[in-house]
Structure 1
Amino acid sequence: MLIKHYKGWELEKEMPNTFEDFFNRSEVAFEEDGLEKTLTITYVQYFEEFLSEFTPYDKNPLFMAGSREVEFKDIVAIATLLNQPALSKRKRIFVRSQSELQTLFKGYDFSKLPDILESIENKSALQLP
């Protein structure tokens, strides 16, 4: 698997009567078996208030990767993909509860993430076994 890029952003309202501004989206683009794929995870912004329940971090930004400040919304998709590679078959995941978010990260070793993201920042991609 070749990780090409990752990013996260806050959704914005497209119409006055929609709820997009309550959600964040995280995305990781990768190549697997010669195919370009993207995994997108959308979750409620409010979940970020409980970072320490899902991760070893307690506030944004979480850490630096190269010259980039990495926030929680940046890592959700890539950490999920690294933790649960079988989800590479999915395109989109909508996380409805904190327990779903905890499940995506369960057992993941976040101590490796800064080095992984640093490599992506420096090399513009990272080949994983």
Structure 2
Amino acid sequence: MLKIISSVGYELTKEKSNSPEDLFNRSVVKFREGSHVKELQILYLRYFEELLMERLSPASADFFTRHKVKDCLALLYAMKNEGFLPMKKVYINTESDFLNIFENLDIHEVERILEGDEV
């Protein structure tokens, strides 16, 4: 059983003037698995969020006005891809891989988890 410790996101900023870092977001979920604390980081293009917002149902759009995509994306990814939990970092580089995370999204389950209940 997993216990979610935190789920947060960051907009990356340029560290060098010629760096494309400001085009990316990082989403991080920390969870307890047994007696171990683990972390999963997802790096993705910020543009993918814009595409997502255009395609959301009204209920999902309402959810993402209360919870930013970057703050819960790693959690959603972990819920959908439990086999990837041993990984520490994932880079999502295609629109289809990003949008797939949101297919068949159980908003009520995600809200329950974000409120501190276990997975």
Partner in structure 2 of residue 89 of structure 1: 86
Q: Is the 8 A contact 2:63 2:107 kept in 1?
A: no
Once residues 3 and 114 of structure 1 are traced to their aligned partners in structure 2, the CA distance between those partners, rounded to angstroms, is 12
Say whether 1:127 aligns with 2:101.
no
Partner in structure 1 of residue 8 of structure 2: 7
CA-CA distance at 1:60 after TM superposition: 8.6
| Alignment RMSD (CA, Å) | 2.1
Once residues 61 and 100 of structure 1 are traced to their aligned partners in structure 2, the CA distance between those partners, rounded to angstroms, is 19
Q: How many residues align?
A: 116
For 2:9, give the aligned amino acid. Answer: G
For 2:19, give the aligned amino acid. Answer: T
Name the TM-score, length of structure 1 as normaliser.
0.78
Once residues 32 and 14 of structure 1 are traced to their aligned partners in structure 2, the CA distance between those partners, rounded to angstroms, is 34
Partner in structure 2 of residue 48 of structure 1: 49
Once residues 64 and 99 of structure 2 are traced to their aligned partners in structure 1, the CA distance between those partners, rounded to angstroms, is 19
CA shift digits 1:13-51 (9 cap, x unpaired): 111111100000100000113211100001000111122
CA-CA distance at 1:101 after TM superposition: 0.9
For 1:116, give the aligned amino acid. Answer: I
The runs of 5 or more residues in structure 1 that have no matched partner are 64-69, 121-125
Q: Which moved more, 1:44-53 or 1:87-96?
A: 44-53
Once residues 89 and 54 of structure 1 are traced to their aligned partners in structure 2, the CA distance between those partners, rounded to angstroms, is 30
Once residues 61 and 31 of structure 1 are traced to their aligned partners in structure 2, the CA distance between those partners, rounded to angstroms, is 25
Say whether 1:79 aligns with 2:80.
no
CA distance change for structure 1 residues 107 and 60 in 2, over 3 Å: closer, same or farther? closer
What's the % identity of the aligned pairs? 29
Once residues 89 and 43 of structure 1 are traced to their aligned partners in structure 2, the CA distance between those partners, rounded to angstroms, is 19
Once residues 106 and 96 of structure 2 are traced to their aligned partners in structure 1, the CA distance between those partners, rounded to angstroms, is 18
Once residues 63 and 51 of structure 2 are traced to their aligned partners in structure 1, the CA distance between those partners, rounded to angstroms, is 11
